[in-house]
Each structure stands twice: as structure tokens, then as C-alpha cells.
């Protein structure tokens, strides 16, 4: 069997995630997989993501390599993947999701509630900034970019009292014990798709599609489909403070999908929080319906301010 070429960003986290997928492919199918690192616009620039055109900055170069035939598949953090489909490509597998929650890494083992007034908390995410400010803790939110090492080093240097990160990334890097608090989604909903990986290949590559389908997790696919449907209906990207989390739970008549979402102003007010339920098989419709309800509550104005 020909060795599969897997396109990945070059960061330590991206390579770790991609190697995990490569190992699973080999274990499930026996196919050999070679990682091919590709530099993306998001990796090369230190500008705030919200000023760089949104989610696609981390995936465009990988998709171009796929379409040129330089690689056979690409692995993305699903939260970085634009919601608009590309008919030339297919999302062949969404493996089982890692913990989607956010975490705080802070000096002296502090939690959010223990941070002193005026403490400097770093994040590059308008979503996290909006929800942190909505908690009314009196901390100062400061912008930060860079990989996990860069962000955490800002605490040791004294530049920041804490930083907000995705728990999934720390888990995959074997650094979960560095978090001083795992933040309850009741306080801070994650980004749509956070914690999930996307395995993408060319739509006409039937052999690779069949191979990747063996890695797909139906519950994870339903959950992130609902979250991304909501994001698409809101017409929001990563520059808009939108959080969403869908979960599959036992209902009275079988599995039920429960979707929670938030849209807010980065100042912390106003904030719109709503939820919806439905069948996992109707995940896209659940996300769209909840987004329509949020738009009726004024979410369009909040999204417009964030993206202007």
C-alpha cells in the first residue's frame, strides 16, 4: 500500500494531533502515514486573528496542498475550519472529541475566583474575553498570541497572572496538570468544534475517504455539526464572541442532542444565552433553529459589531 501523506501545521500541538491520527490510521488499516508539515498564514503572522480574515488562516495552505495533490489528507483543529463547505473536499472523519472545555493556567495555583482585582489574564479569543468580562471578576483581559509554551511562559515571566487555553490541547501535549482550573461551561462555553479534530481529503479520493471513515465518531460528528450550523447561521467567524457546546445525552425516547450557545459583547454586556434540544440525526437543524432564536434576541447586532 502506498504511504499516505498527511498535511499538518508545524506547531508542536498540531504535529502531536496529526501523529495521533496517523497512528490511528496505521492501527485501524495497516496503512503507513508520513507527516508533511506546511506553514500557514496564521503561523507566520503575529497579528490578532480577528484582523486576519478569521478561521481560514490556519487551514487555507493545507487545503491548497490537498488540492494540488501534495498531500492525501489534512488534519485540522475543527474550530479552525470555516463553516462554508468546499465541494472539492470532504470532511471524511471527525474522531472522538477530546474534552472541549477551557482552562485557566495561573500563577500560584490560582482559580478564576481567586485572582485579585486587576489581575492580567491573557487570551487572543474575543469569545473568552466576552465571557470572562461577563463574570464580573474585575480582571484585566490582555491580548496574547503564540503556542502553548509561549503563552504559559508569560506567567513565569510575570507579564500575566494567568492565561486561558483549551484543555484539549494541554491533554494532547501531556500537560493537563499545568491547568489551575478547568472552567465549567456554565461560566465559559467553548468555541464551536473545540476539542475535535477534522480529517479532510479530496472529494474524488474514494480510497482515502473509505479509510478515514473508520475513524469517524457519530456522536462527535452530530455535536459539532450542531455547533457549526449555529455558527454558520449567525454568519459569525472567530472574530465574533460566539460559544457553543452540544452534547449527546440519554433522553426519554433515546439519544437526545442538547445545544447551548452564547453570543456576547467583548465588554461582557449584553450577553445572549439560549439552548435547544433535538435528535442527533437533526443536528444541523437544531443548530440553525437555535441561531434563529438568538438572532431574534439581537445576536445579529453583536456579531456585526464584532466583525466590523
Instruction: Please state which of the ranges 68-72, 250-254, 298-302 shows the lowest mean pLDDT.
Output: 250-254
The torsion angles phi and psi of 7, rounded to 5 degrees, stand at -85, 135
Instruction: Please state which of the ranges 41-50, 69-78, 199-208 shows the lowest mean pLDDT.
Output: 41-50
Instruction: Please state which of the ranges 27-41, 86-100, 172-186 shows the lowest mean pLDDT.
Output: 27-41
Measure Cα distances from 251 to 155, 169, 226, 271 in Å: 44, 31, 17, 29
Separation of alpha carbons 96 and 108, rounded Å:
33
Is residue 275 domain-shared with residue 143, that is, in the same domain? Answer: no
User: Domain tally for the chain?
Assistant: 3
Instruction: Please state which of the ranges 65-69, 166-170, 180-184, 304-308 shows the lowest mean pLDDT.
Output: 304-308
Q: Does residue 140 sit within a domain?
A: yes
In this structure, the chain runs to a length of 308
Q: Does residue 190 sit within a domain?
A: no
Is residue 42 domain-shared with residue 74, that is, in the same domain? Answer: yes
The answer for residues whose C-beta is within 8 angstroms of residue 257's C-beta and 6 or more apart is 222, 223, 226, 246, 247, 248, 277, 278, 279, 280, 282, 283, 286
Separation of alpha carbons 305 and 241, rounded Å:
10
| Average confidence (pLDDT) over 5-9 | 97
* Helix ranges (DSSP H) in the chain: 12-29, 41-44, 60-68, 126-134, 148-156, 167-172, 206-213, 218-234, 283-296, 299-307
253: DSSP letter: T
The residue range of the domain holding 257 is 223-307
What's residue 173's pLDDT? 95
Q: Does residue 210 sit within a domain?
A: yes
Band of residue 149 on the pLDDT scale cut at 50, 70, 90: very high
Comparing CA positions, the residue from 275, 278, 276, 287 lying closest to residue 231 is 287
Separation of alpha carbons 242 and 185, rounded Å:
13
Is residue 239 domain-shared with residue 260, that is, in the same domain? Answer: yes
Q: Does residue 191 sit within a domain?
A: no
Q: Report which of residues 43 and 245 the model is more confident about.
A: 245
CATH code of the domain covering residue 245: 3.30.160.40
The three grid cell numbers given for residue 193, joined into one nine-digit string: 468544534
Band of residue 41 on the pLDDT scale cut at 50, 70, 90: low
Q: Does residue 112 sit within a domain?
A: yes
Comparing CA positions, the residue from 249, 248, 277, 245 lying closest to residue 261 is 245
Is residue 119 domain-shared with residue 265, that is, in the same domain? Answer: no
Is residue 123 domain-shared with residue 53, that is, in the same domain? Answer: no
CATH code of the domain covering residue 152: 3.40.190.10
* Burial class, 185, CB count within 10 angstroms (exposed 0-12 / middle 13-18 / buried 19+): middle
Does residue 49 have a pLDDT over 90?
no
Query: What is the chain's percent helix, strand, coil content, to nearest 5?
Result: 40, 25, 35
Separation of alpha carbons 217 and 96, rounded Å:
5
Q: Report which of residues 55 and 299 the model is more confident about.
A: 299
Is residue 19 domain-shared with residue 152, that is, in the same domain? Answer: no
Q: Does residue 9 sit within a domain?
A: yes
Active site residues: 80
Does residue 58 have a pLDDT over 90?
no
221-242 residue pLDDT tens: 999 999 999 999 998 766 679 9
The answer for residues whose C-beta is within 8 angstroms of residue 31's C-beta and 6 or more apart is 1, 3, 4, 25, 211
| Average confidence (pLDDT) over 276-286 | 97
Amino acid at each position: 500500500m502506498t504511504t499516505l501523506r498527511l498535511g499538518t501545521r508545524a506547531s508542536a500541538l498540531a504535529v502531536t494531533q496529526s501523529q495521533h491520527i496517523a497512528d490511528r490510521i496505521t492501527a485501524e488499516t495497516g496503512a503507513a502515514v508520513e507527516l508533511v508539515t506546511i506553514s500557514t498564514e496564521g503561523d507566520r503572522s503575529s497579528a490578532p486573528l480577528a484582523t486576519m480574515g478569521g478561521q481560514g488562516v490556519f487551514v487555507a495552505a493545507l487545503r491548497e496542498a490537498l488540492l494540488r495533490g501534495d498531500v492525501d489528507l489534512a488534519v485540522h483543529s475543527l474550530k479552525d475550519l470555516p463553516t462554508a463547505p468546499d465541494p472539492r473536499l470532504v470532511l471524511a472523519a471527525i474522531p472522538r472529541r477530546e474534552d472541549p472545555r477551557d482552562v485557566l493556567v495561573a500563577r500560584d495555583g490560582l482559580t478564576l475566583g481567586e485572582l485579585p482585582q486587576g489581575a492580567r489574564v491573557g487570551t487572543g479569543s474575543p469569545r473568552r474575553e466576552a465571557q470572562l468580562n461577563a463574570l464580573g471578576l474585575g480582571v484585566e483581559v490582555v491580548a496574547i498570541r503564540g503556542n502553548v509554551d509561549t503563552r504559559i511562559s508569560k506567567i513565569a515571566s510575570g507579564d500575566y497572572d494567568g492565561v486561558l487555553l483549551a484543555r484539549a490541547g494541554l491533554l494532547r501535549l501531556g500537560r493537563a496538570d499545568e491547568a489551575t482550573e478547568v472552567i465549567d461551561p456554565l461560566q465559559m462555553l467553548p468555541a464551536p468544534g473545540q476539542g475535535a479534530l477534522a480529517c479532510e481529503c479530496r472529494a474524488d479520493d474514494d480510497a482515502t475517504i473509505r479509510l478515514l471513515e473508520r475513524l469517524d465518531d457519530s456522536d462527535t460528528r452530530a455535536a459539532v455539526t450542531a455547533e457549526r450550523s449555529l455558527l454558520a447561521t449567525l454568519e459569525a467567524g472567530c472574530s465574533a464572541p460566539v460559544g457553543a457546546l452540544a452534547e449527546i445525552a440519554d433522553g426519554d425516547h433515546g439519544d437526545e442532542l442538547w445545544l447551548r450557545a452564547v453570543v456576547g459583547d467583548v465588554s461582557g454586556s449584553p450577553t445572549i444565552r439560549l439552548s435547544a434540544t433535538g435528535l442527533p440525526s437533526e443536528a444541523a437543524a437544531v443548530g440553525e433553529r437555535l441561531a434563529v432564536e438568538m438572532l431574534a434576541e439581537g445576536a445579529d447586532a453583536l456579531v456585526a459589531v464584532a466583525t466590523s
